[in-house]
Chains A and B, each alone.
Chain A
């Protein structure tokens, strides 16, 4: 079984993020770049599925797929050090400013090229937070989709999940190939071991350009964008209001504040 995991390098979700005034895109230079938190759950799921089905000895492989600048190899190394076998990075200057439609187009091309049985994704990236890529891949590749998985099991050619949403928990299954997105909390992503980190340095990251994928520059990047930012402005930070120390009447003070604001 060949498993592909779509991952993204994002600004550290614990850092303050900003937009760049001239490009109107996220300023990725001023903050640490990391493997998207929510993609770590997808990498971990892939590794656990391999382990539960006989391991690498049984011929199962995990390939990471990403699109981004050259520097995104750092995020890929993290996934490789967790235990993925190899990675494909699509990197091309013409991709700068790509929106979700362009990103899904590129990822779909890579998936067609490596032809996996199972495609795993996180639910969203912590920078753009659109949560649209798994569904877009399902449409572009005309493959079934199982989303918001809080549990994934693979047997023979079937994948079954428990879909966990506000509406409840649904048990669903689909034949492979299939696109599965996993939620945070499906597992506890492993920390790379020292051995894993050393091994990752030797693992292959194939870097592809638009030419390699047969995509023209006009279809993607800022030039081909399906949506554009007109303008943006930074908002003044919220200022701290009243702060009282509870000396026995904190709850009463709170109820009075809410009454005064007509909130309770």
Chain B
């Protein structure tokens, strides 16, 4: 077994998911952490990677890497995996992670499993599908086992290690895609939706006013989600949509505000550990899956809950 973890990072700062993937990968024994970035990113990330027990850190560095969304990363990564004889690659199940994984699968003629919520020491992946109504165990049967793992699947466990970073700078062939302008998203200090431990979501019942949803989210350090009805109406950006045709989240706590809970929405949040809902309609299907439901107006219930929590927190 030779397990590799693709380290997700922004300019050398590793994401929470990177620690989760290293934690899973350690079950199989030796772990090689691979980071792809611009020169210097490997050194910047080394200490954080070493807090999760990596046995080897390899940084593929190229000054043009960020000018090409996934293609260049996949080139460098695929060649490295073949050269080092990797048997398993874990990669975060984000939009970009899946693009890279798909490309590496073709380049190395390997099988791919996406959206795993767990991976055993012998690379059997667990997937939770159809909104958590079935659990599937799958295995790659050809090439390297390329497995994308959902954020929040395990609790990251630290384990100190002391490896140096091996920097490689392969010659990568640029694609014909040019980026002419970048407008980075304004995060507003909120965590990323799929990584967040708490998600507060708003739906049709908000009537376009997300202020009470955001107020509770900020108090709890939560991400803000939205139902398809809310994003269709243009009340909240599409990138926040939770559901069958949006993001799948499985936080410790999911609070659905003014969301009826059609299957379209439940498919994206049903595996959350604790589900709370506020809805005016006592017959709303969301109440079939909630641990705690309040039948009422979110504009009355949310501010009251927010101030009660704030008061307790002092």
Contact = CB atoms under 8 A, between A and B. Distances in A.
Contact of B238 (A164, A226, A229, A240): A164
Given A129-B115, A131-B98, A139-B106, A37 B245 contact: yes
A99 interface: yes
Contact of A15 (B263, B274, B275): B263
Nearest to A169: B183
B245 A16 contact: no
Contacts of A207: none
Most buried by B among A139, A147, A173, A174: A139
Nearest to A17: B130
Given A100-B112, A168-B183, A251 B303 contact: yes
A167 B15 CA distance: 13
Interface stretch (B39-47, B48-56, B79-87, B282-290): B282-290
Interface stretch (B23-31, B133-141, B153-161, B203-211): B133-141
Given A100-B112, A144-B176, A246 B301 contact: yes
A138 B132 contact: no
Interface string B241-268: 1001110100011000000001110010
Interface in A223-238: 225-235, 237-238
Interface string B161-204: 00000000000000111111111110000001100001000000
Most buried by B among A173, A184, A245, A254: A254
A255 B305 contact: yes
B223 to A, nearest CB: 10
Contacts of B303: 251
Looking at chain B's contact residues, the main secondary structure is mixed
B229 interface: no
A69 interface: no
For chain B, the bracket of interface size reads 35 or more
B309 interface: yes
Nearest to A41: B245
Interface string A3-34: 00000000001111111000010000000000
Contact of A139 (B107, B232, B293): B107
Contacts of A17: 130, 133
A66 to B, nearest CB: 19
Interface stretch (A46-54, A86-94, A210-218, A256-264): A256-264
B13 interface: no
Most buried by A among B95, B263, B278: B95
A168 B185 contact: yes
Contacts of A38: 245
A20 to B, nearest CB: 11
Enumerate the 7 nearest inter-chain pairs by beta-carbon distance, A residue then B residue, closest first: A251-B304, A246-B296, A226-B111, A132-B102, A255-B308, A251-B305, A227-B111
Given A252-B305, A258-B309, 10 more contacts: A99-B112, A136-B103, A165-B239, A166-B193, A172-B69, A228-B139, A241-B292, A243-B290, A246-B301, A255-B305
26 contacts: A14-B262, A15-B263, A19-B129, A101-B111, A130-B114, A131-B102, A132-B101, A135-B74, A135-B100, A136-B106, A148-B95, A166-B239, A173-B177, A185-B232, A226-B141, A228-B141, A230-B137, A232-B135, A237-B133, A243-B287, A251-B308, A252-B304, A254-B304, A258-B276, A261-B253, A263-B252
Interface of A: 13-19, 24, 37-38, 99-101, 104, 126, 129-133, 135-136, 138-140, 144-148, 150, 160, 163-175, 178, 183-185, 225-235, 237-238, 240-246, 249-259, 261, 263-264
Interface of B: 69-71, 74, 94-96, 98-103, 105-107, 109-115, 124, 128-130, 132-143, 175-185, 192-193, 198, 219-220, 231-232, 238-239, 241, 244-246, 248, 252-253, 262-264, 267, 270, 274-276, 278, 282, 287-297, 300-309, 312-313
